Structure 1
Amino acid sequence: MGVMLTDEWMKKDFNRPIKMMERLKSTFNNNLDVEMIYHYLLKHGMYSPNKKTKLTWEHLKENNAWEKTQSLFTSYNKLWGGPDVPIYIFPLMSSGMWNKKVEMKSGLAFKDKLFLFYDKGIAEKEMEAVLIHEYHHVCRLHHLKKDQKEFTLLDTMIMEGLAERTVGKYLGTKYLAKWTKLYQEDKLREFWSKYLQEKHTIKRTDPLHDVLLLGMKGYPNMLGYCSGYYLVRKSEKLSVKKSFSIQSEEFLPKKN
């Protein structure tokens, strides 16, 4: 499948993104309506129609973002032997005066599809970084014999950590997400014992899951993401293919 022609969709419906969601409805296997799908994607970086995002779309077309992403996906799909899933590319949300974006891209992965959101001026290596991260999620979801409703906070943390570790393996530290560098190791050890050691088994459906993962409501920023990367980054001998199926519990800190 690979990259879908969302650039063609936007020729007709750029200003009507909810209308475009009708093309996606059949790929969601639950009772989500088109408004719910759009608002879910908005939370993860999808654009709202305005002058800035229209310019972003035009810039992405001029710079062959769809063709470049397809070439990258073909390479990693073959290299990893991963599933052939549809990829939907859209402009990234615009940043206002009080909402400065740090990253040039965002993404959202499911077992059977992935979404990529690009900003204007994104370099090909940045496209590669987000594709590696999100496609790693797809491959891990494909290999883990676990319903996503049963995922624990630890599962999500390790999922994020392994995906970003893989970015570093292929592209080097320059292309790691900014959140990988927020805290020193001693601070992350402290966070683990203070906030996560007793809570890592909570389920994805627990409201506290996202609070801890993202570091909201007074918790350290990006707590779960940073801690997941901290737990996996020293696994030097772990191959990329093994990282698709290794159990999250393998990365729990050893008790003294």
Structure 2
Amino acid sequence: MGVISTNEWMRKDFNRPIQMMERLESTFNDTLDAEMIYHHLLKHGMYSPNQKTKLTWEDLQENDVWEKTQSLFTAYKKLWGGPDVPIYIFPLMSTGIWNKKVEMKSGLAFKDKLFLFYGKGIVEKEIEALLIHEYHHVCRLHHLKKDQKEFTLLDTMIMEGLAERTVGKYLGTKYLANWTKLYQEDKLREYWRKHLKEKHTIKRTDPLHDVLLLGTKGYPYMLGYCSGYYLVKNFEKLSVKRSFIIQSEEFLSK
């Protein structure tokens, strides 16, 4: 499988993304229709058709991102002994004129597939950082014998932390996500006691899960992500392959 030629899909249907998503209905076991799939992907960085995202798409073609991603995927799949999954690449959503927080990339991982969203001008190391992070999720989901609906907030936090720790292992701190550097450790310890200690067992289906993970509604920004990275960052002697199978609760016992 590996990288799917979504480039060819967009040649035909760039301005009709919902029709394009009909090709994906079978990968969701027909539980979601094309419109539902598109709206789900939109929340995670998928483009809306406009002049700006059309320019991004043209830039990605000139930059050979499909070939570069396939080459990286082949290497990491072999290195980690990971599963062979389809990878769907699309342009990243465009940011509004007042939005100063310019992100170059986003992604969405499932146990059996991967979506990568690239911004205009993305460099190869950023592509690699995103692939490492998202493919780490795929590998962990593949190894953990746990339905995603049963995931707790702690499970999600640890998954994000481990994926980003792995980016640091291969590419160094320069390519870590900005959210890894938001807070000092003493502040994160305080946030854990105040906001997460009593709530880390809530299920993914609980509306509070995403609120705490992303730090919305008055909670510290990216609270769950930052705390997850803090919990795993200094964990001793953790190989990448062990990071696919280690239980989330082990990070609370240190």
TM-score, length-scaled by structure 1:
0.98
Q: CA deviation digits over 1:70-106, x for unaligned, max 9?
A: 0000000000000000000000000111223432100
Counterpart in the other structure of 1:234: 234
Q: How does 1:188-227 map to 2 (within 5 A)?
A: 188-227=188-227
Q: Contact (CA 8 Å) 1:231, 1:253: kept in 2 or not?
A: no
Deviation at 1:29, TM superposition (A): 2.4
Deviation at 1:31, TM superposition (A): 2.2
The code of the aligned residue for 1:66 comes to W
Counterpart in the other structure of 1:244: 244
Q: CA deviation digits over 1:192-237, x for unaligned, max 9?
A: 0000000000000000000000000000000000000000000241
Q: Contact (CA 8 Å) 2:157, 2:227: kept in 1 or not?
A: yes
CA distance, structure 1, for counterparts of residue 98 and residue 242 of structure 2: 42
The code of the aligned residue for 2:43 comes to K
Greater shift, 4-13 or 28-37, is seen at: 28-37
Counterpart in the other structure of 2:159: 159
Counterpart in the other structure of 1:113: 113
Unaligned runs of 5+ in 2: none
Greater shift, 220-229 or 235-244, is seen at: 235-244
Counterpart in the other structure of 1:49: 49
The code of the aligned residue for 2:7 comes to D
Counterpart in the other structure of 2:8: 8
Residue 46 of structure 1: SS of its match in structure 2?
Answer: coil
TM-score, length-scaled by structure 2:
0.99
Deviation at 1:30, TM superposition (A): 5.2
Deviation at 1:253, TM superposition (A): 5.2
Q: Contact (CA 8 Å) 2:95, 2:102: kept in 1 or not?
A: no
Residue 71 of structure 1: SS of its match in structure 2?
Answer: helix
The code of the aligned residue for 1:218 comes to G
Residue 229 of structure 2: SS of its match in structure 1?
Answer: helix
CA distance, structure 2, for counterparts of residue 134 and residue 84 of structure 1: 13
Q: Contact (CA 8 Å) 2:213, 2:222: kept in 1 or not?
A: yes
Counterpart in the other structure of 1:80: 80
CA distance, structure 2, for counterparts of residue 7 and residue 57 of structure 1: 8
Greater shift, 230-239 or 151-160, is seen at: 230-239
CA distance, structure 1, for counterparts of residue 253 and residue 104 of structure 2: 33
Identity %: 86
CA distance, structure 2, for counterparts of residue 23 and residue 217 of structure 1: 36
Counterpart in the other structure of 1:173: 173
